[in-house]
Amino acid sequence: MKDTKLFNHELAIKAEKLGSLPDEWLELIYQEKWFKMFVPVELGGLAYSFPEALQIEERLARLDGSLGWTITLCAGAGWFVGFMNEQLRNSVFPASNLCLAGSGFVGGKADFVNGEYEISGSWTYASGALHATNFTANCEILENGKPLMDEEGNPLVKAFLLEKNEVEILDGWNYMGMIATGSHAFKAEKIKVPAYRAFEIKPDKTTLKDSIYKFPFLQFAEATLAVNVLGVSQHLIDLIEESFWKRHYYRKYDQKHLSYFQKILEKKKKKLDKFRNEFYEEVDKSWDELGIHGKISKKNLKSLSKSARKLSHKCREYHAVLYPFSGLEAAKTHTELNRVWRDFNTVSQHALLIFPF
């Protein structure tokens, strides 16, 4: 990974003050095409396999939580290219500064009238909103004011690609951590959208044949979020260890205390590596099965989900044990340790990863 020196504490502080990724980071992101991890090469993307992308996202999150999360969520929105029609793909995705932000929340209604949609609604948690070129938004579908139902009798939902000038960003990200993700809400009021900007994120609705677009969305989301929790967790463990040894320099812990800390630290690191390896084994197994058979069995999908959730759970568990060894350095709001601790205790709260089963 190139130019990792750019991802330092000073620029991370700048990012928090901005509430979004700084230009120095964005310039490299555009250069490396990280927002286009899942976009076809012919549209200026990287066309990464799922295992490749996850390892990149883990490393980015280890460098900085907001950096990794924003790239992960915006690249994930870019994955929707595989469900859009050719006209939409070709008109939007070649842009070198492309960045899609969006929300999984069904926060709008789209009324189909005279061949186009009229959309109104509001959506939450759009990471990367401040530098996004486009937004994805889920809406319940109406036709001439009447709700439409899907085959199972539920409200029909479609996603839409909206342009930045069609939405209003709402300052709604007021949390202690992951500040630079700029995960704000956004809204739209009675905007007219052509029908070709609607798409459905379902396995049978893919418009590109590549395997990545056949990966089920739930497990796609769980795995990409889990590697972010893991990356931030690894960063935090490194900083806790560093802080402990700095304290030892001044306090001179006796050998009994040093041995106790070293034993616990090594044990937790070894266990975390174990769960990390098991997670990536499940990822590889699912990806290989998808490539061979064109789909992933329910058994392997369940195993992948469980592995992602268990990995996240273990990260939280181990930090509860290690955190006290960091000392008051962790409570100083201007330190890197405090920032990464705030990021970890924000990112690890994602609803998809709360339970270990």
Domain boundaries, the chain: 4-83, 98-203, 215-353
Q: What Cα–Cα distance (Å) separates residue 199 from each residue in 35, 88, 92, 142?
A: 20, 10, 14, 15
Q: Which two tokens stand for residue 27?
A: 């310039």
What is the torsion angle, in degrees rounded to the nearest 10, for the CA atoms of residue 249, residue 340, residue 314 and residue 349? 150
Look at residue 357 in the predicted model and tell me its pLDDT: 83
pLDDT digits (tens, 9 = 90+) for 258-302: 999 999 999 999 999 999 999 999 999 999 999 999 999 999 999
What is the arithmetic mean of pLDDT over 117-136?
97
Alpha carbons 70 and 354: distance in angstroms, whole number: 20
pLDDT digits (tens, 9 = 90+) for 175-224: 999 999 999 999 999 999 999 999 999 989 999 999 999 999 999 999 99
- Name the CATH superfamily housing domain 4-83: Acyl-CoA dehydrogenase/oxidase, N-terminal domain (1.10.540.10)
- Evaluate if residue 96 carries a pLDDT over 70: yes
- On the question of a common fold for 98-203 and 215-353, the answer reads no
Closest CA to 145 of 118, 122, 121: 118
What is the length of the chain? 357
- The pLDDT mean for the chain works out to 96
- Evaluate if residue 149 carries a pLDDT over 80: yes
Look at residue 249 in the predicted model and tell me its pLDDT: 85
Q: Would you place residue 1 in the very low, low, confident or very high pLDDT band (cuts 50, 70, 90)?
A: low
Bridge partners of 118, per DSSP, are 111, 192
Q: What Cα–Cα distance (Å) separates residue 105 from each residue in 27, 157, 200, 229, 250?
A: 30, 11, 14, 21, 50
- Name the CATH superfamily housing domain 215-353: Butyryl-CoA Dehydrogenase, subunit A, domain 3 (1.20.140.10)
What is the arithmetic mean of pLDDT over 74-86?
98
pLDDT digits (tens, 9 = 90+) for 225-263: 999 999 999 999 999 999 999 988 888 899 999 999 999
Residue indicated by tokens 């006209």? 87
Alpha carbons 53 and 46: distance in angstroms, whole number: 10
Angle 63-223-196 from CA coordinates, rounded to 5°: 105
- Evaluate if residue 141 carries a pLDDT over 80: yes
Q: What Cα–Cα distance (Å) separates residue 78 from each residue in 47, 91, 135, 196?
A: 11, 14, 10, 17
CB burial of residue 282 (10 Å; 0-12, 13-18, 19+): buried
The DSSP code sequence of 184-217 is: EEEEEEEEEEEGGGEE--SGGG-SS--GGGGS-H
Q: Which two tokens stand for residue 281?
A: 């084994």
Count of Cβ atoms closer than 10 Å to residue 286 Cβ: 23
- Evaluate if residue 3 carries a pLDDT over 70: no
Look at residue 6 in the predicted model and tell me its pLDDT: 87
In CATH, what number does 98-203 get?
2.40.110.10
- Evaluate if residue 2 carries a pLDDT over 80: no
Look at residue 330 in the predicted model and tell me its pLDDT: 87
CA distance from start to end of the chain: 33
The DSSP code sequence of 127-166 is: TTGGG-SEEEEEEEEEETTEE-B-TTSSBPEEEEEEEGGG
Look at residue 143 in the predicted model and tell me its pLDDT: 97
What is the arithmetic mean of pLDDT over 55-76?
98
Bridge partners of 157, per DSSP, are 140
Residue indicated by tokens 């690609």? 161
